[in-house]
Every structure is written in structure tokens, then in C-alpha cells.
Amino acid sequence: MTSTAPADIGQINETTQIYRIFIKATPQAIWDAITKPEWTQRFGYGLRDEFDLRPGGRYRGHANRGMLEMGMPDVVADGEVVEAQPPHKLVITWRMAMDPRLAAEGFTRLTYEISEGKGGVSRLSVIHDLAGRPGHAAVVAGDKQGPGEGGGWLWILSDLKSLLESGTQMSTSGGWS
């Protein structure tokens, strides 16, 4: 990953980013897509996410083939499970481990909330507490990526919606595969 100059990341002053999306899928289908490695590598940036879904359990986001070919480490994101209430709530600590500067910022708090609605539509809320983590805030906001190259949470959630509703991705792994 190309590092962003400190002056650039200092312009991001958000402390919490909240994203909500409606998906024509059950809470269980959304939960599985977020927590099962065979699903996580099919959308967003194509990471193979692995969770030990108990408080204190490890989270690891493993690089896809394209990332590895670019010289990125195997584990590009990591953290710990704080709370798991399948299929409605998952809270983890999270940090981007692939960039030493971002890893040094420390862990953020990431919450997924899934609510069932009417007509087979569920709402997925992603609440990412980024207080004091300006580098992470810029990356997950997608500020440094262009169209077709990804775009943080907006990209990941849009691709997840596309996959669950149509069975296909928007494109290939946010430009990283």
C-alpha cells in the first residue's frame, strides 16, 4: 500500500464513521458473508477473513493473491473479537496491519449490526470508531482511491450487497486482486 503523507491524513478529522445499507437477504446470510472465509474473499478487497467468534478470539484478514504479489504481508488486518451475537451483532478491535504507520496507530473499534426488516430485506449498519486514528479514518473512508479502485467501507458494503442480491461482485476485489 502506498503511504499517505502525514499532512494528507491530518485533514481527516472524523472520529466515527457510520454506514447503513439495506440488503435483500436474511440476517444469517449477511452474518455468514461477513464472518465466513469462503464468503469474505468474494467481495470488497477479497480478504480471507478468519474469526474466532468468542470474546477474546482472534480476527485475521489475510491478503488476496494480488496483494501478496505486490509484496504485502499475509495478514493485512487484525484484531480481537469483543462481542459476537450471531446473526445480529459483531464487535471487534481492528487495525490495518499491512502498513507499519497504520499499524502503529493502534486498534480501532468496529461494530456490525444486522436487523431484519420486512419483505426479506435486512439493514446492515457498520459503526467504525476511529478516534485518534487519522490514517485509518482516511483509508476506510476511501479518500485515496478512485472509481473502480475501491473506496473503503462504501466499496465493501456496495460489493457485499451486489454479491448477496445478484450472486456477482461489482468488479474484482477493489483493484487489489
Tens-place pLDDT, residues 92-106:
999 999 999 999 999
At 137, phi and psi to the nearest 5? Answer: -60, -40
> What is the mean predicted confidence (pLDDT) over 131-159?
79
pTM assigned to the model = 0.86
Reference 122, options 153, 86, 88, 152; nearest CA is 88
Reference 115, options 46, 42, 23, 37; nearest CA is 23
21's enclosing H/E stretch is strand 16-23
User: With the CA atoms of 9, 152, 86 and 97 taken in that order, what torsion angle do they form, in degrees rounded to the nearest 10?
Assistant: -50
Residues of the chain above pLDDT 90, percent: 71
Question: Domain ranges in the chain?
Answer: 11-175
Overall fold of domain 11-175: Alpha-D-Glucose-1,6-Bisphosphate; Chain A, domain 4 (3.30.530)
User: Which pLDDT does position 171 carry in this prediction?
Assistant: 65
User: With the CA atoms of 109, 133, 135 and 146 taken in that order, what torsion angle do they form, in degrees rounded to the nearest 10?
Assistant: 50
Cis peptide preceding 134, ω within 30 of 0:
no
User: For the segment 64-87, what is each residue's pLDDT rounded down to a tens digit?
Assistant: 999 999 999 999 999 999 999 999
- Distance CA(93)–CA(107), nearest Å, equals 6
